[in-house]
Amino acid sequence: MIVEMLQFFLALAEIGVCFWACDKLIYHGEVVGRHQSYFVVCTCLIALLICWNKMTAFFSVLVLGAEIIIIWLAMFVRRRKKALLSFVFIFDTLLLATLLDLVLSLCAISVLGHNFWDKVYFAVSAERICIYAISRVLLCLICYLLLLYTKKFKFEVEDYKGILFGFGTISCIWGWWFLTTLFDRSTTNNLGDSLFVITCLVILIALMAIELKSIYLKTQSQMIQIKNELLEKNYDNFSNLYENSRYIYHDFKNHMILLENYLECEDYAKAKQYLKDIVAPMDELSNYTYCGSQILNLVLNIKGYEANRKNITFSTDIETTPYEYVDENDLGIILFNLLDNAIEACEKIEEKDKWIQITIKRKKQLSIIKIENSVEKQILVKDGKYITGKENKSIHGLGLQSVKALVEKYEGEVAYNHTEDIFSVVITFFENGL
């Protein structure tokens, strides 16, 4: 009775880890946490099905297929987006658990002899529970390490569909080989076979790790290129500001002499006009103080000046500065990206009003940054991602991804919304974000 109970709890662990990993890595924790009772019931029912099967057999292809489909349907009912990705992930996760079971069984047979396989396959025994327990612990550890990896390097599982498909295909081939080897007990299974299989598995994992690192480095290279473009653009903005204001500050003494001369000659009309000519560019270059962050003030002044030059209404509603644990340089990059996109969207408008609204407020434990802007036409969206209209999509399409990566660095959230007339971005930082 105790062995049967342990087998049921191990089945619960297998299903629970599968739901948890799929929710965290694909849906960013937005599904299971909101429907906990539903997923607890589903986990128990599926675990009963698995446990009933394992009472008579160590492994069944049909039950594994049913388990994959039922778990996927349970997730699909609550979140229909990314259905194919979630199916592949669930397929790979459960297939990994099965492969771990078979690898451990093969190793045990190689060391302990064929009698061990009789105990494991044909009876609910302590030996079988040991194999299940070790494989489930390894499964939990792999999923946990994968979650830590995604948080550290800020990548989306959706970008690695090829690796998931490749792993699933190779795992099916290996699973078939394992079953053939285990069931064909007339041949001699030795430790060499097990070491060969484990070596192949290690090589596959190493190749996958190299591929993941390669994709990460490529993404980082694109991020650096985006930042370099921003720095170059900021330099151009500062150069324009300097050129527009140089004659005022460099020749300030001469301006005062000319004004004094007009006033002494009582030529008030020319004095008034000359004063307007001096003040006009100074009004454009006014250094407004929006909040307590010098970086944010600098970004807002530069982008506000750029928007005004392009006849875009630039308004702000700022009550506070985001939390101190958020690096000012990261905030600057976030705002530069979003305001660049907003200005570019407004430039395409021909008949509607052009405007940008920036709101920064704090509500209890939340710090909220909201940027809204008018748009000319419907924004392109594919697979939940906004598509850039620029020709070089490989570079310019990463602006919003860069923003998302920086916000998630502080465990914040980014929400995009759009209508036919307005595009808005809402960034939320939590006080206990770190």
0.75 exceeded by pTM? no
Give, in degrees to the nearest 5, the angle at Cα 32 between 30 and 37: 140
* 14-28, 45-59, 192-206, 305-319: the lowest-pLDDT one: 192-206
- 314 and 175 in one domain? no
pLDDT digits (tens, 9 = 90+) for 336-354: 888 988 998 898 888 888 9
Of 130-139, 158-167, 179-188, 199-208, highest mean pLDDT: 130-139
Q: Which domain holds residue 166?
A: 2-224
Task: Say yes or no to pLDDT of 118 above 90.
Answer: no
- 293 and 214 in one domain? no
What is the per-residue pLDDT for 372? Answer: 92
- 59 and 204 in one domain? yes
| Domain assignment of residue 72, yes or no | yes
How long a stretch of residues is the chain?
434
The total domain count for the chain is 2
- 142 and 35 in one domain? yes
- 210 and 314 in one domain? no
Edge-to-edge strand ranges of the sheet holding 355-363: 313-318, 355-363, 366-374, 422-430, 413-418
- 317 and 181 in one domain? no
What is the per-residue pLDDT for 196? Answer: 63
| Domain assignment of residue 63, yes or no | yes
Query: CA–CA separation, 119 vs 115, rounded Å?
Result: 7
| Domain assignment of residue 248, yes or no | no
Q: Which of 188, 208, 224 lies at the terminal end of a domain, its last residue?
A: 224
- 154 and 12 in one domain? yes
- 178 and 70 in one domain? yes
- Which residue did the predictor score with more confidence, 412 or 154? 412
382 falls in which pLDDT band (50, 70, 90)? very low
- 48 and 163 in one domain? yes
Dihedral-angle region of residue 28 (phi above 0 means left; psi in -120 to 50 means alpha; beta otherwise):
left
Q: Which of 194, 224, 254 lies at the terminal end of a domain, its last residue?
A: 224
pLDDT digits (tens, 9 = 90+) for 298-316: 788 888 888 888 889 998 8
| Domain assignment of residue 256, yes or no | no
Q: Which of 170, 189, 224 lies at the terminal end of a domain, its last residue?
A: 224
